[in-house]
Structure 1
Amino acid sequence: MMHRILFTASTFSHIRTFHLPYLRAFRALGWKVDVACGGTLPDLPDADRVIVLPFEKRMSSPANFRAQAQLRHLMRQQNYTLVITHTSLAAFFTRRAAAGVHPRPPVINMAHGYLFDDETPAWKRAILESAERLTARQTDLLLTMNQWDYRTAQRLHLGRRVAWVPGIGVDFSKLDAPPGACSRSTYGLDPEDFVLLYAAEFSSRKNQSMLIRALPSLPPQVKLLLPGQGALLEECRRLANTLGVADRVVFPGFVSPMAPLYALADAAVTSSRSEGLPFNVMESMYAGLPVIASRVKGHTDLLDDGRTGLLYPFDDTAAFVRAVKRLLEEPGLCAALGSAAHDAVQPYALDAVLPQVMEQYLSLVPAAQPLRAPAFSTTDKE
């Protein structure tokens, strides 16, 4: 029997950034792999078929319901052995599409971080929880990657079966290679600067504005390196100008590879409102950087306060400033935190995680067992 799998996500960039090793693993098992997403059509050599969906960020957009109808038709036509969905928007409409398919293929939803937590306003949390409850019957397996999401999904019965996995795995080998020709002067930074690095999309959830607001309370040698793009980039530029710290904030845009930036930074920081299991933090830990992170889900799963990193209450500028000053004032703390973080993040490496995730994926397809170990090699890099 020829097995065929469908991966869905809101954007192709999500699949390309995080899931190519899994596309390769299924193809190594002899499966046909289809990928259906919104966004610009990329080059995906690890997919047998690529389908463009008209996803839009606004949930109520008619385009999303057209995408749902397209997915339903696709599932009826292709008779998939398994459907795996990622990202909140795509996960909702993929599961709604599956509800109208008979017989329905097994559906796995990987939750990369629910967009609600204990601090979310009641009205907003009710809406987001309702969307998950509505699609729970079409979720044969729900995979979560932090403990808050796992406990919440179990309590609310958001899937027929709920399991925890240590993320999707980070390919740390990319950070082992020589960082290449890049110096602080490339970004207008001086050797004596204390450089804080935060690589993330510019959005309200990532909250870069808090880091910029903190700079006037920090010594002038503290500089902020903010690679990334997003809707709030220009707003953050204006804020830096308004506060008179534009010469202390570097906006290099999208940067890849990141290894040179980890090599020139003194510490990694994050001001995020919530996370699933963030790559930027795990990569920073592996690079041996001390991490100062907001005390939110995802961060608390990775960092032990005072041992592998420093945590502060979300959006608490004064607490963040104190944490940075602690790194400046306590000799040896940066090295101690960075060394402990490097050791602590090893279980999240792609080589360790991919077999665990594949075992969960294939648990819904008994005929696909036993697993063939060579399929899960991560030595085949892009």
Structure 2
Amino acid sequence: MPKILFTASTYSHIVQFHRPYLSAFRALGWTVDVACGGAPMEIPEAHRTIHLDFEKQMLSPRNGRALRQLRRTMRETAYDVVSCHTALASFFTRLAVNGGKQRPKVVCMVHGYLFGENNPAAKGLILQAAEKLVASRTDLLMTMNRWDTQYAAAHRLGKKMVEIPGVGLDPSRLPPISREEASALRRQWGIEETDTLLLYAAEFSGRKSQQVLLRALAQLPLQVKLALPGQGALLEECVALARSLGIEQRVIFPGQVARMAQWYGAADIAVSASRSEGLPFNIMEAMYYGLPVVASAVKGHTDLLVPDTCGLLYPYGDWQACAAQLQKLLQSPEERERMGRQGRQSVGVYCLDQVLPIIMAQYEALIPLRDETITHT
């Protein structure tokens, strides 16, 4: 049986984005292994799950141990394909691949380079150097937005490069929400019928920049509320900022939410303040539920949101411009409805039934997926 190894920094990444692809390879008769770090989670589609001791700090000794474990795993199991995801795991996975002729084909999916645009320059130089170091071991590089595609092509970061429409939004995980369900959630959190609810579901990290939205909210009418589902290192800092701005009664911190569908159903406008993205699911999900979007004008967002069509953009970090764009939508319910409708119509090309065949075709172009006698090259 042909064999493939998927790697990522966290179990949650594989669970959230790649289970349909594990299933697709299994259906074709492949042995499917997964190697990842973080909090362990069940991945029933994998034949075997290998825990790696990854840590977000690139030079952590734990990553050295993960590198050695990856090398040992690849040496013991002759994989035909290695598919790597997330910046940290992708680097160490490709570093672990034997550089000789007898090695697996290596596929790297870029979920958003963490350099360029508004990202810190010093960190960016390190990450750029890391990508160049392992470019020769990247047989297929899949990017998700124009900026990443152009950068990868200019710096030859893969032997073959292709832009894909994300990993596929799965409508089966996004059930319709009735008015009754949406109203019940709003009542539970003290949101009046006359309130306008903004929604931004994201990890509380420097890259996600929730502080921008809090400062923008302070400039908006009292009837505007903001929901910030998620956990992360900067959660308490954001809670303190909301308090210092005098808007703590208008901000909802519900923590980690397992079922986001209810929140999309309850919200009026989706917002984002992210510093950079690949092709963000939270924006696509909002579009799927017919919400207009106000987001920072960064890669990923600019690919999904055609200005004045299904959303409005503002310069990253500019909370005054963010507030001004939100004010436009607050003053025009008709415009909100039009943008929501446009978003719902345009998101179809990013849905799983459209995207999965595109991505599997890229694997097929690299190596026969249905050939039981695959030879390493």
TM-score, normalised by the number of residues in structure 1: 0.94
Contact 2:85/2:109 (CA < 8 Å) preserved in 1?
yes
- Which letter maps to 1:353? V
Partner of 1:378: none
Q: Of 248, 260, 267, which aligns to 1:265? A: 267
CA apart distance, 1:349? 0.3
SS of residue in 2 equivalent to 1:84? strand
- Which letter maps to 1:254? Q
Aligned identity (percent) is 54
SS of residue in 1 equivalent to 2:262? helix
Partner of 1:354: 356
- The RMSD of aligned alpha carbons is 1.5
Partner of 1:30: 29
Q: Return structure 1 stretches of 4+ with deviation > 6 angstroms.
A: none
- Distance of 2:35 and 2:174 partners within structure 1: 30
Partner of 1:285: 287
Contact 1:75/1:101 (CA < 8 Å) preserved in 2?
no
- Distance of 1:119 and 1:40 partners within structure 2: 30
CA apart distance, 1:124? 3.0
SS of residue in 2 equivalent to 1:363? helix
Partner of 1:3: 2
- Distance of 1:58 and 1:208 partners within structure 2: 22
Deviating more after overlay: 108-117 vs 173-182: 173-182
Partner of 1:379: none
SS of residue in 2 equivalent to 1:318? helix
Contact 2:117/2:276 (CA < 8 Å) preserved in 1?
no
Partner of 1:52: 51
1:102-138 Cα deviation digits (max 9, x unpaired): 6111100000000012344543332211110001011
Partner of 2:347: 345
- Which letter maps to 1:350? L
- Distance of 1:43 and 1:125 partners within structure 2: 33
CA apart distance, 1:300? 0.4
TM-score, normalised by the number of residues in structure 2: 0.95
Partner of 2:142: 143
- Distance of 2:63 and 2:100 partners within structure 1: 18
Residues 357 and 339 (structure 1 numbering): CA distance in 2 closer, same or farther, change over 3 Å?
Answer: same
| Structure 1 unaligned spans of 5+ | 371-382
Correspondences of 1:83-162 after superposition (within 5 Å): 83-99=82-98, 103-162=102-161
- Which letter maps to 1:357? I
Contact 2:115/2:121 (CA < 8 Å) preserved in 1?
no
- Distance of 2:348 and 2:239 partners within structure 1: 36
Deviating more after overlay: 357-366 vs 53-62: 357-366
Contact 1:218/1:321 (CA < 8 Å) preserved in 2?
yes
- Distance of 2:123 and 2:40 partners within structure 1: 32
- Distance of 1:36 and 1:243 partners within structure 2: 44
Partner of 1:223: 225
CA apart distance, 1:362? 2.5
- Distance of 2:101 and 2:41 partners within structure 1: 31
CA apart distance, 1:183? 2.6
Partner of 1:185: 187
- Distance of 1:365 and 1:27 partners within structure 2: 16
- Distance of 2:312 and 2:247 partners within structure 1: 24
Residues 144 and 13 (structure 1 numbering): CA distance in 2 closer, same or farther, change over 3 Å?
Answer: same
- Which letter maps to 1:326? K
- Which letter maps to 2:73? L
Partner of 1:295: 297
| Structure 2 unaligned spans of 5+ | 373-377
